[in-house]
């Protein structure tokens, strides 16, 4: 029988090779993953347990929350607030940072998460996921919002779990990217996709084309050229995908290359993009870069953006390096 490497074995072995780590991080990750398994269970049972549909409430972004957005947020908070590994948390579904209750000890990490990304897909049985980002916290006292507003390059770990036909975890601690599949029979994530690498070139792009009329010139130019196919300046035909679930798009790009764009658009000039810097763009940027790809706002490397607020939005362009570099070039020229 071939030996299967579980996530726990993988993390302990990886951490052993690093100088400045203790078991705390491994425990924290184990607890995050435990929360994701619980969310997977809820997503999987869906209407059997009455968790689909709208909760008829709005989050701070003014988006109508799904029941499962709230359930997933609560699962994350309850799985992590007692552990003693965290100084605080922030969630896409909570207006303010989440303090650790007074009765529990505090630790040296901060976790930021989007408990259920792509939740507009939940009622139509398409893939959704949870995204998380871990920062070290040096605050001597209770952490404040300022402690969370750190550049993506400072993340010590980022990952996401995709609840699709298989439940999969994609993880980086800054030493490459690895993929694990949940073996439902034993309840463990097993290493199935070691050292994931994104091909530098691609012929596949993902964007919500219905926003075309709102985009800036560099993005229109890029997409126009892709659509021209073999006869155009790119000299090759492109394929297009749009799942409207970032975890699913990023997973596809990790597996076979491609580029994903949610650019700035002129619909609402007060919103500099749709996706959230701290809960979506930064963790995905670390994963994509660690897999050999690139992630930019079009004008700046994502991991170098200085966050200004907890729920800040940013334009996102990520995936195969050559395509992201082309997009950056088009932005520089405009
Ligand atoms: O809020 C995040 C998200 O659901 C992403 O997962 C996805 O890429 C995007 O929004 C879809 O947006 P739209 O519905 O505008 O295509």
Domain boundaries of the chain, sorted by first residue: 7-193, 204-333
For atom 4 of ligand 1, which residue has the closest CA? 118
Q: Which of 310, 319, 29 is nearest to 172 (CA)?
A: 29
Taking only the tens place, the pLDDT of each residue in 214-258 is: 999 999 999 999 999 999 999 999 999 999 999 999 999 999 999
- How far is Cα 123 from Cα 54, in angstroms, rounded to an integer? 9
Residue 279 has pLDDT above 90, yes or no: yes
Q: State the architecture of 204-333 in CATH terms.
A: 3-Layer(aba) Sandwich (3.40)
Radius of gyration of the chain from Cα atoms? 20
- How far is Cα 68 from Cα 44, in angstroms, rounded to an integer? 11
Instruction: Specify whether the CB–CB gap between 280 and 133 falls below 8 A.
Output: no
Q: Which of 158, 163, 156, 167 is nearest to 190 (CA)?
A: 167
Taking only the tens place, the pLDDT of each residue in 86-120 is: 999 999 999 999 999 999 999 999 999 999 999 88
The CATH code for residues 7-193 is 3.30.540.10
> Which ligand 1 atom is the nearest neighbour of the CA of 262?
8
The two structure tokens encoding residue 19: 């100088």
Q: Which of 303, 293, 302, 284 is nearest to 324 (CA)?
A: 293
For atom 11 of ligand 1, which residue has the closest CA? 244
User: Is residue 141 very low, low, confident or very high in pLDDT (cuts 50, 70, 90)?
Assistant: confident
Strand locations in 28-146, DSSP E?
Answer: 54-58, 64-66, 86-91, 109-117, 128-136
pTM, rounded to two decimals? 0.96
| Mean pLDDT over the full length of the chain | 94
Query: How many C-alpha atoms does 27 have within 13 Å on its Cβ side?
Result: 14
Instruction: Kindly give, in sequence order, each residue whose CB lies less than 8 Å from that of residue 329, ignoring residues fewer than 6 positions away.
Output: none
Distance from Cα 189 to the centre of ligand 1, integer Å: 27
Residue 45 has pLDDT above 80, yes or no: yes
Asked if 7-193 and 204-333 have one fold, the answer is no
122 lines ligand 1 (CB under 6 A): no
Distance from Cα 120 to the centre of ligand 1, integer Å: 8
> Which ligand 1 atom is the nearest neighbour of the CA of 120?
4
If you average pLDDT over residues 50-61, what whole number do you get? 84
3-state class (DSSP) for residue 264? coil
Q: What is the pLDDT of residue 49?
A: 87
If you average pLDDT over residues 156-170, what whole number do you get? 97
Q: What is the pLDDT of residue 211?
A: 96
> Which ligand 1 atom is the nearest neighbour of the CA of 119?
4
User: Is residue 62 very low, low, confident or very high in pLDDT (cuts 50, 70, 90)?
Assistant: confident
Residue 2: how many CB atoms within 10 A of its CB?
A: 3
């Amino acid at each position: 029988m071939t030996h299967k490497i579980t996530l726990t074995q993988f993390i302990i072995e990886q951490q052993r090779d690093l100088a400045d780590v203790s078991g705390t991080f491994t425990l924290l990750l184990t607890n995050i993953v435990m929360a994701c398994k619980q969310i997977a269970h809820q997503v999987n049972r869906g209407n059997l347990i009455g968790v689909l549909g709208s909760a008829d409430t709005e989050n701070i972004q003014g988006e109508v929350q799904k029941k499962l957005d709230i359930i997933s947020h609560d699962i994350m908070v309850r799985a992590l607030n007692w552990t003693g590994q965290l100084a605080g948390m922030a969630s896409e579904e909570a207006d303010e940072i989440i303090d650790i209750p007074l009765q529990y000890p505090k630790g040296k990490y901060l976790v930021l998460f989007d408990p259920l990304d792509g939740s507009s897909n939940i009622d139509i049985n398409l893939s959704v996921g949870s995204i998380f980002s871990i920062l070290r916290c040096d605050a001597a006292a209770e952490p404040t919002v300022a402690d969370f507003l750190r550049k993506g390059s400072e993340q010590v770990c980022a990952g996401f779990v995709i609840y699709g036909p298989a439940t999969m975890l994609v993880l980086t601690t800054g030493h490459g990217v690895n993929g694990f599949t949940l073996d439902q029979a034993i309840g463990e994530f097993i290493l199935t996709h070691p050292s994931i690498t994104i091909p530098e070139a691609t012929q596949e792009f993902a964007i919500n084309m219905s926003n075309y009329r709102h985009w800036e010139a560099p993005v229109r130019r890029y997409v126009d050229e892709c659509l021209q196919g073999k006869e155009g300046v790119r000299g090759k035909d492109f394929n297009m995908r749009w799942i409207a679930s970032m975890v699913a798009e990023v997973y596809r790009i990790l597996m076979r290359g491609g580029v994903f764009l949610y650019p700035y658009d002129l619909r609402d000039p007060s919103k500099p993009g749709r996706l959230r810097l701290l809960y979506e763009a930064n963790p995905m940027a670390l994963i994509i870069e660690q897999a050999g790809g690139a992630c930019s706002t079009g004008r700046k490397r994502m991991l170098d953006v200085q966050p200004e607020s907890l729920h800040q939005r940013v334009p996102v362009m990520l995936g195969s390096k050559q395509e992201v570099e082309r997009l950056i070039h088009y932005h520089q020229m405009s």
